[in-house]
């Protein structure tokens, strides 16, 4: 079972959505060694999960893991910001 669950909320195929998906794939491979499960949620197709999680802005990355639940907003090109969120509340992978 993957240590980190990464749920990326996007809005269709917009530029920021595509950038967020590419950045997240890279971060998962380079920083987490693939020890993550990525779920992409397109709110234009189904917004129910976004509403349930309180997500009102996209792209938004919901990170859950051991003792960890946080949201990172934006296209995720600032990998340092995402790395900091991944390390908050747990040891460095």
Residue 30 scores a pLDDT above 80: yes
What one-character DSSP code corresponds to residue 76? S
The string of DSSP codes covering 3-50 is: SEEEEEEE-TT-HHHHHHHHHHHHHHHHHSTT-EEEEEEETTT--HHH
The predicted-structure confidence for 45-87, as pLDDT tens digits, reads as follows 999 999 999 999 999 999 987 778 899 999 999 988 998 998 7
Give me the residue spans of the domains in the chain. Answer: 4-87
Q: Taking a C-beta distance cutoff of 8 angstroms, is the pair 9, 52 a contact?
A: no
Share of the chain above pLDDT 70, in %: 94
Over residues 27-34, the mean pLDDT reads 87
CATH topology of domain 4-87: Glutaredoxin (3.40.30)
Predicted pLDDT at 88? 44
Instruction: Write down the pTM of the prediction.
Output: 0.87
Over residues 13-40, the mean pLDDT reads 92
């Amino acid at each position: 079972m993957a240590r980190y669950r990464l749920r990326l909320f996007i809005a269709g195929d917009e530029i920021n959505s595509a950038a967020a998906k590419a950045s997240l794939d890279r971060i998962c491979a380079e920083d987490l060694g693939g020890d993550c499960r990525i779920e992409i949620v397109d709110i234009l197709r189904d917004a129910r999960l976004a509403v349930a999680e309180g997500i009102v802005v996209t792209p938004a990355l919901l990170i859950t893991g051991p003792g960890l639940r946080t949201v990172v907003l934006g296209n995720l090109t600032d990998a340092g910001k995402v790395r900091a969120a991944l390390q908050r509340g747990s040891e460095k992978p």
